[in-house]
Chains A and B, each alone.
Chain A
Amino acid sequence: MSQEARTTRTLGRFERLPTRRIVLVALSIGIATAVAYGSYRTLTLPAGQRYSGSAWRDFLVLGVAQGAVYALIALGYTLVYGILRMINFAHGEVFMAGAFGSFFFADAWERSGFLDRRPVLAVLLLVLLAMAVSVTVAVLLERIAYRPLRGAPRLVPLITAIGASLFLQNTFRGLFGAQTRGYPKPTALEGTWSILGIPVQRVQVLVLVVAAAAMVVLTQFVSRTKTGKSMRAAAEDQEIAALMGIDVDRVIVTTFVLGGMLAGIAGVLFALTFGNISYFMGFAPGITAFTAAVLGGIGSISGAAIGGLVIGVLQSIGPALLLTGIHVPSPFQLKDVVTFLILILVLLFRPGGILGTGEVEKV
């Protein structure tokens, strides 16, 4: 190769230094500076205005508990995405359906006193009921809205999913009314327990325990059972899986069932934590959980768990840490902005997510 040719090639490379890369680098430097500056200002506030150490600890615990709920919902997105490569936009409504479905029983049991007398049994039953309702909704959703579109261009099922989401919200509004309702909490769950010397809200302990158990069961199911194996096979390559004698339709239904079960559990936990439910409650947690799934690497189960926890913690700590110092009033109004910014940034910088498989496909 001649000297000349080599020079042009080097030059060519310089010329092709993509503007997009420059923009992204500038953006990341800017964000890093803003984050560092905001946190510095918050942490060096005068003593009277500063958050105390225990406040930060409470934020952290709250974040972890919230994150566990997000993780459960995120698993639903990730499972479906792994197999169908579609964003199940209506998954937030599956979650809402679970919370709503169990509400009427919780309400009746509170009036009859069953909820306070046998809190463990009652909560267990509520979770089972919520799972049943969520699974029903998820399976119907798949059957009616998604199955006829198998193999359609990617955006078509997404639009359908948005329509289904709107439809489900308004169905619940029509069926059960538009008002926000208070979800009863057993008295046994009021107050705090001390764990390792740290007082933790009892509800949050419940959330963490149940969510962890559900995730362990799910991982075992996917990695140990035959159905789990066929799910993994279908996620790898649907056609070949079908050729190997796997009933792909059934695998897909199973996926929706699993997603629905987790969403149902999440619904009860969310309702117990925040104490009220409405037909619109699925939207924000849904998007947040989707962000968590993307953050962790969509398609990956452990990724969804980690993504959920990270998002939960960032949501509860982020606004206070970054914004209090620069005197933004009521920083927690902006907690969803944190989520959405994370979503955008992850997609820009690392579309594969933290644990992403590093898909070669252009994202």
Chain B
Amino acid sequence: MVRAGAKAGLLGGAVLLYAAAVGMLVRLDELHLVGTQVTLGRVLLVLPPFVAAFLAVRPRVVGGRVEQPGPPAALAIGALAGGVTGAVGAGGLALVDAIGLDRVRSVFVAVSPALVETMTFGRGLGLGAAILVLGGLGLGAVGGIWRRVRHGLRRPVEVGLLTVFVLGMLQRVVPFMLDELRIERDWLYSRVTRGLTWVGAVVVLVVATAAAAYVLDRRERHGRAPLEEGRPEVRGVRRLVLAGIVVAFFAALPQLAGSIVSEIMGTVGVFLLLALGLNIVTGYAGMLHLGFSAFFLLGAYSIALLTGANLVTAFGLVAPRFSAHLDFYVALVLVVLIGAAVGALLAAPVLRLRGDYLAIVTLAFAQIAVILATSSWLQPITGGPQGLRDVTKAPLLGIGFRSAENFYYLVLVACVLAVYVSWRLAWSRTGRAWNAMREDEQVAEAMGVPTGRYKMLGFAIGGAIGAIGGAMFAVKVGTVQPGSFEIIQSITILAVVILGGLGSVPGVVLGALVLLGLPGLLTQLEEYRFLIYGASLVAIMILRPQGLIPNVRRMRELQEEERTQDAWQQIFAARQEEEAAEGATEAAS
């Protein structure tokens, strides 16, 4: 157990040093969550010892028995883990000091005086190191004992803290909304730091904790409502009302939250479309597609060329060699068809490839698309690295959709349609065929599912939705440049789908909101966006492969499996009882 504590502490220390060395601590120190004291950087500084201690005292199975340290032991081990974490941090500081800050900085660019200042809380090296170690000890002790706190107390407080954190992170949205609703907000959000005020944070903490305690208590007493309760008609109405509320909220968002949020939500919408497309290929049909940025590119360039965008050349704006001057909405239909056709055509020869090879081939396609779009060879059509300009504003009845608010509505309509299509597809015959194919291709084939055809269909529909996303993006930005469609976008889209939950439409929506909305809202996070995407891909695959909001059907299938197992067990137990009874009567006679 002591070893576990030390090990967790070392890991925590490594995380701490990592966050420091990549510059996160300093950069995120600018983001005030509560008052002037609590910044996101400080949260990052405080979390490692706490989490290390919390993990160090987790129950373990030793020799078939669950072992968990008692409260005093938990306190001690936790303190050890936290102390080691702090000591590693302090050791790092001392090492930097010994070598000389400037010399370290010539290699590790993020090790700056500001970093030392942040890590020592501006108190100088000696005192700062002492604070790190002692603070680590204290936090570790709390973290260790936290594991032993009764659930009924622990969960509500955790929910409360999380609520404060989320409200702090949404500091560019919520205050604006409160202003629009003419609700006094100065008690909650500070105008100076932009974060929560202490008063506001405490109020939020208390309210959220109490609410969570009430809900959890009720659930404890009445049991959790089973999935899908009630008669089907009631369920349908309930679902419609819920959907209506969600749509109404999103429809009112630009009025409530202003143009910055509209702008960000526009980007979220574009990527949501792409992710919904990928979700069909990868989530429904189970084929890993690493080249989805190709459809993004395809949609954007097609719409630009079909609606008469211009090339940027040394001689000014020129019409590209192939172009048409169609109305945006006519062109959009064509783009959908192009997306579907290209999706199916590219898929045709590679359908027989096994999963991982298919993934790499799709990646290769996407890379070829970007190289071709950039090349001088196709420059007369695609504009080369400069790309195309003057993409249509998608005018409809005299209204253009370039401005953030208007574009938001355009993309919202597209997203709602795509969500509807995804949702209907999931429960259709096609959806079931995909499902079967995903679970086991050979069995599906044997049961008479023409897998080749359904794979192509998946690629076609996914490609069509992705191409719409590309077209929307072109309208939003007004220019099309190959740099926007690099392979990294494919991985971003993949991260959205994986984080949300493969095959789960609400999951994909949440994934897009988190992975694209948050970095947009908090410019401090923007720099670490891809770092976070990468880390979350790894973490999700290891810790929660089903994603944040798992696919309902799969969950239900699993539950049903359990239920049938239970039923079998009951039958089995009953039979055994019967046999035992029979045996007893036989013995008696």
Contacts and interface: CB of A to CB of B under 8 A. Distances in A.
Interface stretch (A2-10, A184-192, A244-252, A332-340): A332-340
A16 interface: no
A310 interface: no
A256 to B, nearest CB: 16
Contact of A290 (B108, B360, B536): B360
Contacts of A167: 531, 534-535, 537-538
A363 B357 contact: yes
B537 A160 contact: yes
Query: In the complex, which of the residues A330, A344, A362 has the most CB atoms of chain B within 10 Å of its own CB atom?
Result: A344
B348 A171 contact: no
A149 interface: yes
Given A170-B528, A344-B361, A363-B353, A164 B538 contact: yes
B21 A23 contact: no
Nearest to B363: A287
B349 interface: yes
A359 B375 CA distance: 38
B491 interface: yes
Given A176-B109, A290-B360, A168 B368 contact: no
B352 A329 contact: no
Interface in A77-92: 86-87
Given A333-B371, A333-B377, A158 B359 contact: yes
A27 B541 contact: no
B290 interface: yes
A159 B497 CA distance: 12
A297 interface: no
B414 interface: no
Contact of B361 (A156, A176, A177, A343): A343
Interface string B535-552: 111100110010000000
Given A162-B290, A334-B371, A343-B364, A174 B349 contact: no
A23 B349 CA distance: 8
Given A163-B495, A328-B377, A347-B350, A158 B368 contact: no
A174 B533 CA distance: 14
A175 interface: yes
Contact of A333 (B356, B374, B487): B374
A141 to B, nearest CB: 10
A87 B355 contact: no
Contacts of A341: 368
B367 A287 contact: yes
A148 interface: yes
A155 B536 CA distance: 16
A24 interface: yes
A283 B363 CA distance: 12
B466 to A, nearest CB: 18
Interface residues of A, number: 55
Contact of B375 (A104, A330, A344): A330
Contacts of A328: 377
A329 B374 CA distance: 12
B47 interface: no
Contacts of B538: 144-145, 160, 163-164, 167
A87 B356 contact: yes
A363 B542 contact: no
A347 B361 contact: yes
B336 interface: no
Contact of B542 (A148, A174, A290, A334): A148
Interface string B235-263: 00000000000000000000000000000
A20 interface: yes
B349 A336 contact: no
Contacts of B354: 154, 361-363
Among A152, A165, A328, A343, max chain B CB count under 10 A is at A343
Most A C-beta atoms less than 10 A away, residue of B290, B349, B355, B374: B349
Contact of A171 (B365, B491, B531): B531
B494 interface: yes
A169 interface: yes
A348 B109 CA distance: 46
A45 to B, nearest CB: 17
Contact of A344 (B24, B351, B364, B541): B364
B357 A170 contact: no
Given A174-B110, A177-B109, A163 B22 contact: no
A87 B362 CA distance: 14
A27 B349 contact: yes
B288 interface: yes
A244 B355 CA distance: 31
Interface residues of B, number: 54
B107 interface: yes
Contacts of A87: 356, 359-360
A155 B534 contact: no
B376 interface: yes
A142 to B, nearest CB: 13
A340 B368 contact: yes
Given A159-B288, A334-B377, A340-B364, A166 B537 contact: yes
B23 interface: yes
Contact of A166 (B350, B371, B491): B491
Contacts of B374: 333
Interface in A269-323: 283, 287, 290, 294, 323
Nearest to A160: B541
Contacts of A333: 371, 374-377
Given A159-B541, A162-B491, A330-B376, A175 B371 contact: no
Most-contacted residue by chain A among B363, B534, B538 (CB, 10 A): B538
Contact of A176 (B107, B352, B375): B107
Nearest to B542: A148
Among B288, B491, B537, max chain A CB count under 10 A is at B537
Interface string B435-454: 00000000000000000000
A125 to B, nearest CB: 17
B318 interface: no
B165 interface: no
A348 B377 contact: no
A98 interface: no
Contacts of B531: 166-167, 170-171, 174
B533 A166 contact: yes
B377 A175 contact: no
B108 A175 contact: yes
B541 A174 contact: no
Contacts of B349: 20, 23-24, 27, 348
Contact of B367 (A23, A157, A340): A340
B440 to A, nearest CB: 11
Interface in B13-66: 18, 21-24
Contact of B371 (A86, A104, A337): A337
Contacts of A165: 534
Given A159-B537, A167-B535, A328-B377, A347 B353 contact: yes
B498 interface: yes
B372 interface: yes
Contacts of A344: 350, 361, 364-365
B121 interface: no
B22 A329 contact: no
A169 B537 CA distance: 14
A351 interface: yes
A156 B546 CA distance: 11
Contacts of A154: 354-356
Cβ-closest 3 pairs across A and B: A163-B537, A174-B22, A167-B534
10 contacts: A23-B348, A23-B349, A149-B542, A154-B355, A162-B290, A166-B530, A174-B22, A176-B108, A334-B375, A340-B367
Interface of A: 20, 23-24, 27, 86-87, 104, 144-145, 148-149, 152, 154-160, 162-171, 174-177, 283, 287, 290, 294, 323, 328-330, 333-334, 336-337, 340-341, 343-344, 347-348, 351, 361-363
Given A155-B355, A170-B528, A171-B531, 5 more contacts: A162-B537, A167-B535, A175-B22, A323-B377, A340-B368
